[in-house]
Structure formats: structure tokens, C-alpha cells
Amino acid sequence: MRFHQILFAAATLAGPATGLSAQVRASELAMVSQTIDGTELKIEYSRPRMRGRDSVFGGEVKWNEVWTPGANWATTLELNRDIKLDGHPVPKGKYSVWLVVRQSGPWTMVRDPRRRLFHLAHPDSSADQIRYPVTPEPAPPTSVLTWSFPEIRVN
């Protein structure tokens, strides 16, 4: 069977176009990855939307609460090599990502080796976690949570 025959067969099996549009979920699944000098970083997360809210922090996400920066299942970070994040060693592997959000002062970044956790099942502190302070910086608001690699450096 030739390629154009396969396409025709697939179109025939799919049936006629109905004019219906797909429904956008409240938190679509997303993935972003970056390779830097052979080191692969991959982030998988669900993208919660603002849905008319002015702010998430202090409302939907309570101050001093543990929050995964995403929705549904915990956001994950996967690394194929050992790296340092903000000067903190992170061994290769896959981690769930959490933040302890605070109204003032630094937040706490938490990398937990238990990666398949529902976003409401906040992990308790354990010796296996990697924890360090991070300072949130002001940024323009977005209607959908977005992870990105805006600056690429070898260090």
C-alpha cells in the first residue's frame, strides 16, 4: 500500500468532518525539554489556567502551602546526568517538583524522588528530598502556566 492510499484509508475511516470543535481542558498536559552540552532536562506538567482569577497565590494556592507548579499529577523534572540547580546538586533521575509558597521572603523548592504523586498528595519532608530557597521574581502575568528555558548556559 502506498502512502497516499494509507492517507485516503485513514480519512475514510475517520468519516466526514462534523464541524465540532475539541473542548480545551482546564489543565492541558504539556512537556518541555532542553539539551545543554549533552545534558537533557525534561519537564512534564499540566497547564492550569487563570480562568478569570486575578491571582493564584494567596487564594487558590494558600500562603505557606506546598504546591506543585502545575495541576493534576505533580510536575516532574527528569535529568539524564547529575547537574546543579541554583548551585544545589541534583543527581540524574526523575523527580516531582514542589514549592512552598510564601507571601514574603524566599520560597522553598522541593525535588522529591517520588514522582507519581497527585497534586493534592503533598509530600512530607524526607531525607531523599532536595530542598533549597528560591526567590520569586516579578514577571508579566500569563493566562496559562508555562515552563520554559529562557536562558541557556553551560554552567
Q: Rounded mean pLDDT of 121-149?
A: 86
List the grid coordinates of 142: 500569563
- Cα–Cα distances in Å, from 145 out to 17, 49, 89, 90? 32, 7, 26, 24
In sequence order, what are the residues at sequence separation of 6 or more whose Cβ sits closer than 8 angstroms to the Cβ of residue 111? Answer: 77, 90, 95, 96, 97, 98, 129, 130, 131
Q: How far apart are CA 47 and CA 27, in angstroms?
A: 5
Between 117 and 106, name the one with better pLDDT: 106
How many residues make up the chain in this entry? 155
Residue 151 has pLDDT above 60, yes or no: yes
26 or 152, which is more confident? Answer: 152
Which residues is 57 bridged to in the sheet?
Answer: 61
Q: What is the pLDDT of residues 55-85, one digit of tens each?
A: 788 888 889 999 889 888 999 999 999 998 8
The grid coordinates of residue 28 equal 492541558
Residue 141 confidence (pLDDT) above 80: no
At residue 135, the pLDDT reads: 92
In this predicted model, which residue has the larger pLDDT, 121 or 149? 149
Model confidence at 140: pLDDT above 70: yes
Instruction: State the virtual CA torsion across 58, 46, 94, 91 in degrees, nearest 10.
Output: -50
Contacts of 13 (CB under 8 A, 6+ apart): none
d(CA 45, CA 110): 15
Q: How confident is the model over 7-37, as pLDDT tens digits?
A: 333 333 444 445 556 666 678 889 999 999 9
- Whether 128 contacts 99, CB under 8 Å: no
The reported pLDDT for the residue numbered 154 is 73
pTM over 0.85: no
Residues 6+ apart with CB under 8 A from 109: 85, 86, 97, 98, 99, 130, 131, 132, 133, 134
Q: Each residue of 82-104: pLDDT tens digit?
A: 998 888 899 999 999 999 999 99
pLDDT score of 155 more than 50: yes
